Every structure is written in structure tokens, then in C-alpha cells.
Amino acid sequence: MISMNHIKTFFLLSILSGLAAVIGYSFGGIFGSTFALGIALLMNVVTYFYADKFVLALYRATPLPQEKYKEIYDIVADLSGHMNIPMPRLYLVPGNLPNAFATGRNPENAVVAVTEGIVQLLEPHEMRGVLAHELAHVKNRDILIATIAATLATCIAYLADMVRWSLFWGARGKDSENRGSGVGLLVIAMLTPFIAMIIQLAISRSREYAADETGAECCQDPLALASALRKLQGDLSNHVQRPPDTAHASIASLSIVYPFRGNGILNLFSTHPPLHKRIERLEKMAMLQQR
């Protein structure tokens, strides 16, 4: 079923594509756009194929012991069947920080990881809600969508850098008058990467809402995920509030809740919607199901 969150994602990706085309053509015509897109695509294709290995290694994740966590295996097998996707590989992340994430380039190569903390914190029905959310990311191919968004955003950033350096060295070419003034291009070069970042974050938040919706529909219990999110929200204050390094900050966007907090205006640039809004939406879904 196509929801408003899927439509919103398509719309935002279209805007990103348009931004990349406009800034690329205004600077270097078709060649400029193609060159920057090629570099961005190469970088993100590598990320797309090897991100799961990098993430699991960074978190020191190990395969989830089936004998000890048979209940989790049973839940995932049941949900995977309902979603008509292959059973993903399951991993365990050491540590008390309660969280979970999914990665992998497609449903056939998917990985779902849970932390020791979330296994200890949640009741079985709440864990089912969380796992349904993560499997929804797999079903909705959110890793692919995130890669496309990252490719376009990276392309825009490269083009903006090319414009700024070109203007700095005065090497814009003989037909520069036909492509707008230097001041106009400089404004475009300064603004478009920022706009692209905002759109990329909006896409990420939209995919979180969509995964909440898909997961809640699959497990037929929106309140289970709402209860889990409420517990995770209450537990965040007991753990690390700042990422230990850039790598951990960048992959934290994969988690069901973003485990680190910024200050002031930094909270506006989040990869996840506010938890209270996600909980409110799930509670509304539950009310509609009861009618």
C-alpha cells in the first residue's frame, strides 16, 4: 500500500534530483552534472554494498545465539513470513544502550541487530513491535532509498565545491555570461548543499514514520511499538548523550531511536522524528483499528 510517507519520500527525492540538475547545468552544463554524479555514485555504490559489514564491525556485533534467544528468532521468522521477505541474519550488539537497527542492501542480504540493553529492557510484545519496525525498513528497501538520497546530496556538494573553486580561481569559461552572474552562482553554491542536507534529513524522518506504519500494520499492534518507544525515550537520559566519534554519529541514523542528543538548534537537524510524535501517530493507528 502506498502511504503519504512514501509519496513524500518520492517528492523529496525528486527535489534533490532537480537541485543536482540545476546546479550542475548552471556550472558545467551536461558534463558538469554527469561528472559530479559519477563520483557521487561510485562512492555510494561502495557504501551500499559494504555498509553492513562496516556497521557490524564498528559495533562489535556477533551472530545472535539461537539457543539463548529462540524467542527473538521465532518473532522474526513469523514477521518475515507476514511481510513476505526472507529471514534476515540476526546479530547481537554488546552494551547496555537499548537500541536496534537494520542494514543490508536488499531483503536477501538483510541484517537485523539488537543490543543487549534492548533485550533486557523490553517485554516480548514490545520487542515484537521493534523488530516489526526494523523488518519494515528491509521490506520498504530504505537502505536503497537512503543510498539514492546520499548520492544526490553528495553530487550537489561536489558541484557546489566545483563552483566555489572555479569562482575563486576565475576559471569559469568564456560563456559564463550565459550561465548567470558570478554572484548568482556563488549564492547557489552556498545554499544548495544546505538545502540538500535538509531534504535528506526529511527523507530519513519520512522513512522512520513509514517503517512505524508498516511495522505496526504487520504485527497488528501499534501500541506495542508505542510502548517500546516510550521506554526507549525514558532510558535515553541514562546513557551517552554525545557520539564518541564521527563514525558512530553517522551510522546511528540506522537505529530505531537516535541515541545521541544535540543542543538547541542541533535538534532541528535530526535523522529521526521526535519520539513523542511517533508515539502519537501509533496511538492514533490503534484507535482507528479499534473502530
Active site annotation includes 217: no
Give the pLDDT of residue 100: 93
Q: Which one has a higher pLDDT value, 148 or 125?
A: 125
The number of beta carbons lying within 10 Å of the beta carbon of residue 191 is: 13
Taking residues 59-85, report their average pLDDT. 95
For residues 147 and 47, the answer to whether their CB atoms sit within 8 Å is yes
Determine the Cα–Cα distance for residues 130 and 136; give it in Å rounded to an integer: 10
User: Across the chain, which distance is largest between two alpha carbons, in Å?
Assistant: 70
**For residue 245, pLDDT beyond 60:** no
**For residue 53, pLDDT beyond 90:** no
Provide the sign of the torsion angle of the four alpha carbons 94, 228, 51, 36, taken in this order: negative
pLDDT digits (tens, 9 = 90+) for 28-39: 566 666 666 676
For residues 242 and 193, the answer to whether their CB atoms sit within 8 Å is no
**For residue 172, pLDDT beyond 50:** no
**Which position among 126, 134, 208, 213 bears the catalytic label?**
134
What dihedral angle (degrees, nearest 10) is formed by the CA atoms of 96, 99, 105, 107? 110
Taking residues 165-186, report their average pLDDT. 56
Taking residues 97-115, report their average pLDDT. 90
